[in-house]
Structure 1
Amino acid sequence: MKKFINIISVCILTLIFYSCSAQNTTDSQTLNSLVTSEEFTFHAERANPMNYDVINTLNSIPNNPSTRILQLDAGSYTIELRKGKMEVVLPYFGRAFTSTYGRDNSYRFTSKDYTITKSQSKKGNWVFKIKPNDVNNVSDINIEVYKNGKAFTSIRSNDRQPITYDGYISKNEEIKEKKID
């Protein structure tokens, strides 16, 4: 019986260590090239509203925990940085101070006039402070890129409460030009 317990313990520990090592990470060389070029795509995996009223409202929905609602579809919500162009498609959960007409409640815009300030923290993480000049309601976007490729993004707006997103960065997809025959 003692042998059996030892074998089970070793198997469980092996599975735990294997799951810890199987996390998504980007190798440091690829990460450094993405950061230095300032051309990458942030993929949001989770939205974190700053207002607990929103979280309490989501928790009040029967048979539906708020954690599942705030988990975002992989690849659907992104911030894409290219030379001279930033494209943002992110959902918004929170309180808006001014009303919007229609269904334009999320962050969906393309900016061609923006400034990027890049710095490195003491821990080796890269911090991008982006200020779009041609978008009225967004005052700044902060993206912190960790050494393993994971990223944390916060968006401050003039007419809404702040919101943060957890996710990762990757290389931009190539844009294929259509040929006209």
Structure 2
Amino acid sequence: MKTKLFILIALFGFLNFSASAQEKTKKELKAEREAQKQKEIEALIDSKNFVFEAQKVTPQGGRLINLDYNTYFLKFNAENTTADLPFFGRGYNIGYGSEGGIKFEGKPENIKVEKTKKNYTIKTSVKGKDDVYDLMLTLFFNGSTSLSVNSNNRAPIFYDGVVSAPKNDSKK
């Protein structure tokens, strides 16, 4: 009887040990995924070539608006930055025939990159056709990103979304 009890206790001990070993591997896997994502973000920052896709927008003094389609973007490159973002808010000195939204293309100036424990912050300004846009991108290590756009002719606006490497458009 004592041998059966001893075998039963030993069996439960081995089962508990194997279950605790699996939990550690889950934590290790999560840490490895986070480290991999952080390396991807760092590579995008170093290349200064990435695409921000807006998913949510918050106008100044307004409430959060979910964007249904992934058609709103900011293509950031050290040579040329292009944006097509929606705008909800107050505009100053904007004509009635002008385009809606924030649309510009130009070379970013005064690019400043700062790193903290949990994110990177990129500050730059881009001269568009009719306005100057001050951009502040905060790229978190998990891939989420926030974008703040300030301009001379519009109220500040904030976007939340994700950042990724640009897709290669091969035209034949």
Aligned to 2:70: 75
Number of residue-to-residue matches in the alignment = 139
Deviation track 1:4-27 (CA, whole Å, cap 9, x = no partner) reads xxxxxxxxxxxxxxxxx9xxx872
- C-alpha contact 1:127 1:143 (8 A) present in aligned 2: yes
Q: Which has the larger radius of gyration?
A: 2
**Gapped regions of structure 1 (runs ≥ 5):** 1-20, 56-66
Q: Distance in 1 between matches of 2:153 and 2:143?
A: 31
Aligned to 2:114: 119
Match of 2:50 among 16, 33, 40: 40
Aligned to 2:40: 30
Q: Distance in 1 between matches of 2:170 and 2:96?
A: 34
Aligned to 1:11: none
Partner SS, residue 123 of structure 2: strand
- C-alpha contact 1:48 1:164 (8 A) present in aligned 2: yes
Match of 1:170 among 139, 143, 164: 164
Structure with more strand by fraction: 2
Deviation track 1:24-67 (CA, whole Å, cap 9, x = no partner) reads x8722211111111111011100000124xx5xxxxxxxxxxx5
RCO comparison, higher one (Cα < 8 Å, 6+): 1
Aligned to 1:8: none
Q: TM-score, normalised by structure 2?
A: 0.72
Q: Distance in 1 between matches of 2:133 and 2:158?
A: 14
Question: Matches of residues 127-166 of structure 1 in structure 2 within 5 Å?
Answer: 127-166=121-160
Relative to 1, partners in 2 of residues 1:114 and 1:175: Cα closer, same or farther, differing over 3 Å?
farther
- C-alpha contact 2:144 2:161 (8 A) present in aligned 1: yes
Q: Distance in 2 between matches of 1:127 and 1:108?
A: 22
Specify the code of the residue in structure 1 equivalent to 2:141: K
Displacement of 1:159:
1.1
**Gapped regions of structure 2 (runs ≥ 5):** 1-29
Consecutive aligned runs of 4 or more in structure 1 exceeding 3 Å deviation: 133-136
TM-align CA RMSD: 2.1
